[in-house]
């Protein structure tokens, strides 16, 4: 049976790291949606934001997701905002299993402080600004993320075996 798993969740939740490991273990292909968008558009994500704004980026993201939805036997790590625009979440739920990774906010803050300058939405924010931004933004995004078929909350060191065990239980 064809398989497709989408990993969703906030920036810094570990979608790409887990996606790569999960794909390897399940012998599936791995696609990082942001990398796919960059290759299809011949530009980096920060350049797309700078040239077309968030609105332009969300259109590129929607188009990329629609293309990927037709592929099979893969694990997809989506960008943090992908489930929250257009009918993207419905498309993912229709075409695969969706897993929401939701670590504690302190973990997101620690990880994002180290890599914030690669991410246009949080570039240059101080710890306090970042914490406030994540809290507010997560409140808006949670209703979308919570449509996932599997939700993994508050795990500090999520391992592939944890994910596989939870998937099997479903």
- Residues 62 and 90: beta-carbon distance below 8 Å: no
Out of 14, 41, 74, 80, which residue is the one contacting ligand S3P (CB under 6 A)?
80
Query: For the residues of 51-120, what is the DSSP string, one character each?
Result: HHHHHHHHHHHHHHHHHHTT--SEEEE--TTGGGSTTHHHHHHHHSEEEEEE--HHHHHHHHHHHGGG-T
Nearest CA-CA partner of 163 in 34, 13, 29, 36: 13
**41, 119, 125, 144: which one contacts ligand S3P (CB under 6 A)?**
119
| Residue the block writes with tokens 């979608």 | 15
Tell which positions 34-53 bind ligand S3P, by CB under 6 A: 34, 45
Q: Of the listed pieces 73-81, 93-101, 125-133, 156-164, which binds ligand S3P according to CB under 6 A?
A: 73-81
Q: How many residues sit close enough to ligand S3P to count as binding (CB under 6 A)?
A: 9
Using CB atoms, what's the residue nearest to ligand S3P?
A: 79
State the Cα–Cα distance between residues 16 and 31, nearest whole angstrom.
Answer: 9
Among 86, 120, 147, 160, binds ligand S3P (CB under 6 A): 120
- Residue 81 as a binder of ligand S3P (CB under 6 A): the answer is yes
Point out the annotated binding site for Mg(2+).
16
Interacting residues toward ligand S3P by CB under 6 A: 11, 34, 45, 79-81, 119-121
């Amino acid at each position: 049976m064809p398989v497709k798993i989408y990993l969703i969740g906030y920036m810094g939740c570990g979608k790409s790291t887990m996606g790569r490991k999960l794909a390897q273990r399940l012998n599936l292909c791995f696609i990082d949606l942001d990398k796919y968008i960059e290759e299809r558009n011949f530009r980096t994500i920060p350049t797309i934001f700078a040239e077309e704004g968030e609105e332009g980026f969300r259109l590129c993201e929607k188009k990329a997701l629609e293309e990927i939805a037709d592929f099979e036997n893969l694990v997809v790590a989506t960008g943090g905002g992908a489930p929250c625009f257009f009918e993207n979440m419905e498309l993912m739920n229709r075409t695969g299993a969706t897993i929401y990774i939701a670590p504690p906010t302190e973990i997101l803050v620690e990880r994002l402080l180290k890599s914030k300058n690669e991410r246009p939405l949080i570039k240059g924010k101080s710890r306090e600004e970042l914490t406030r931004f994540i809290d507010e933004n997560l409140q808006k995004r949670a209703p979308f993320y919570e449509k996932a078929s599997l939700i993994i909350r508050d795990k500090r060191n999520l391992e592939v075996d944890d994910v596989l065990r939870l998937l099997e239980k479903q």
